[in-house]
Amino acid sequence: MQKIRKKIFDNHSHIGPVPGFAYYGLPEVVKPTTDYDTIDEYLGGMDEHGIDRALVLPNYGYPDSNQPFTLNPLVAEGAERSDRLLGAIWVSALPKDKDKTIEALKLIGQKGLIALKATCLLGGTLDPEGWDDESSELWNMILDAAAEHDMPIHIHTSPSGGSDIDNALAMIKKYGKRNKIHVVHMGGGVSGHIKFVPQFCDLVEDGYQ
């Protein structure tokens, strides 16, 4: 009897080149990524690791929120070229990124673009109580678009700062019954897991998505 191989799906990975930077005050520039710079490289990596389909997001980490916007076209091209790839659109609730986010949201509806991606690593907060008027306008524009098109929003979570899991929980409790929210990294470490994991099942049972 022939053994049937289980299909493997990657639901959160990154694509596209990122410049090097002297992170954390290092004396030299480093490029701490082995992610794939092109669609062909990414598809080759999928073949190498036996991955059937993947959701790809713009690579980020460079301390300039404009950088991942430049990779939205690459994500869209990948989703158009191959049915093995789905894409998430990079958006930002930083006021300085308003125009770029408005343009990014115009990609909704293109083939294979099924999610949005946002982070507060470069400023702002996931906690609605901490939003000023401009940030509130942008977050609501992003969340409204995601809800209207039934798109999950991937929010980066990590210990402390604007992406702390406590801030993510505040967003979930305000918007999570309307919006599908992917809590990337589940808090971002032991402390985040301790805070979030015990609540996860309760939130799901209470109707949060």
3-state secondary structure the chain: CCCCCCCCEEEEEEECCCCCECHHHCCCCECCCCCECCHHHHHHHHHHHCCCEEEEEECCCCCCCCHHHHHHHHHHHHHHHCCCEEEEEECCCCHHHHHHHHHHHCCCCCCCEEEEEECCCCCCCCCHHHCCHHHHHHHHHHHHHHHHCCCCEEEECCCCCCCCHHHHHHHHHHHCCCCCEEEEHHHCCHHHHHHHHHHHHHHHHCCCC
The low-confidence residues of the chain, meaning pLDDT below 70, are: 1-2, 32-34
Note the pLDDT tens digit of each residue in 195-204.
Answer: 898 899 999 9
The pLDDT value recorded for residue 115 is: 98
The pLDDT value recorded for residue 102 is: 98
The pLDDT value recorded for residue 145 is: 98
Provide the CATH number for the domain formed by 9-205 in this structure: 3.20.20.140
The pLDDT value recorded for residue 53 is: 97
Q: Which residues of 3-15 are buried (b: 16+ CB within 10 A; e: fewer)?
A: eeeeeeeeebbbb
The pLDDT value recorded for residue 15 is: 95
The domain ranges of the chain are 9-205
* 105: CB partners within 8 A, 6+ apart: 89, 91, 141, 142, 145
Could you tell me the pTM of the whole model? 0.92
The pLDDT value recorded for residue 62 is: 86
